């Protein structure tokens, strides 16, 4: 069994050095494989269990793609998923998902319910990891990883809402 020291020596011999100080960060999910397939007219099958939840084949890709479409089409400043102003965005989301996956109309409520949960989770993720820097100062710029989804004006409005004392929950 190799020890960490042996692995470091092996890495150096191959010409690579593995450092644990540098954290590898993932980029934003854009689902290029799915987009290319959709452009070619290919639709992915999604299996469903007795409880109405997606299962293989392609269940993970399906839910991930819903998230990608939501981030592209729903502003982070929207607080209430039931807001009537989201009707057009929800129609875009449903049509995009239907164009990409084989789905019956009865799955629309599931797709939109998951889309709402993903949107709320994305906003929480932004608040928890990007709203303030390590020193506690508010970030004036949107996160670079999401700059193609979030404009500076949208980020500014989001920061204002999240920084409002009425928003902060006390213990």
pLDDT tens for 62-89 read 999 999 999 999 999 999 999 999 999 9
Range of the domain at 101: 28-152
Find the helix or strand (DSSP H, E) in which 153 lies: helix 152-163
Instruction: Kindly tell me if the per-residue pLDDT of 15 is higher than 60.
Output: no
Q: In a 3-state reduction of DSSP, which class is residue 105?
A: helix
Overall pTM > 0.95: no
**Residue 9 falls within a domain, yes or no?**
no
**Residue 122 falls within a domain, yes or no?**
yes
**Residue 14 falls within a domain, yes or no?**
no
**Residue 130 falls within a domain, yes or no?**
yes
**Residue 160 falls within a domain, yes or no?**
no
- Identify the pLDDT of residue 164: 86
Q: How many domains does the chain have?
A: 1
Strand partners, 132: 138
Instruction: Kindly tell me if the per-residue pLDDT of 17 is higher than 90.
Output: no
| Mean pLDDT value across residues 123-130 | 95
**Residue 23 falls within a domain, yes or no?**
no
Instruction: Kindly tell me if the per-residue pLDDT of 167 is higher than 50.
Output: yes
| Mean pLDDT value across residues 90-117 | 96
Residues 6+ apart with CB under 8 A from 73: 89, 92, 93, 96
**Residue 110 falls within a domain, yes or no?**
yes
**Residue 66 falls within a domain, yes or no?**
yes
List the alpha helices (DSSP H) in 2-151.
4-14, 32-39, 59-73, 87-100, 108-129
Do 45 and 79 meet the contact criterion of CB atoms below 8 Å apart?
no
């Amino acid at each position: 069994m190799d020890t960490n020291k042996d692995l470091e020596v092996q890495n150096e011999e191959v010409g690579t050095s593995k450092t644990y100080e540098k954290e590898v960060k993932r980029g934003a999910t854009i689902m290029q494989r799915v987009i290319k397939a959709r452009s070619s007219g290919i639709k992915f099958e999604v299996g469903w269990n007795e409880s109405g939840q997606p299962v293989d084949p392609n269940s993970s890709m399906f839910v991930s793609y819903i998230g990608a479409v939501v981030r592209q089409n729903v502003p982070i400043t929207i607080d209430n998923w039931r807001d009537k102003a989201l009707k057009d965005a929800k129609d875009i989301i449903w049509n995009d998902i239907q164009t990409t996956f084989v789905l019956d109309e009865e799955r629309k409520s599931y797709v939109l319910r998951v889309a709402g949960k993903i949107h709320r989770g994305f906003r929480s993720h932004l608040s928890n990891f990007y709203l303030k820097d390590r020193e506690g100062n508010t970030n004036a710029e949107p996160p670079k990883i999401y700059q193609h989804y979030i404009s500076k004006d949208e980020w500014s409005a989001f920061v204002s809402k999240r920084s409002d004392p009425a928003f902060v929950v006390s213990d």
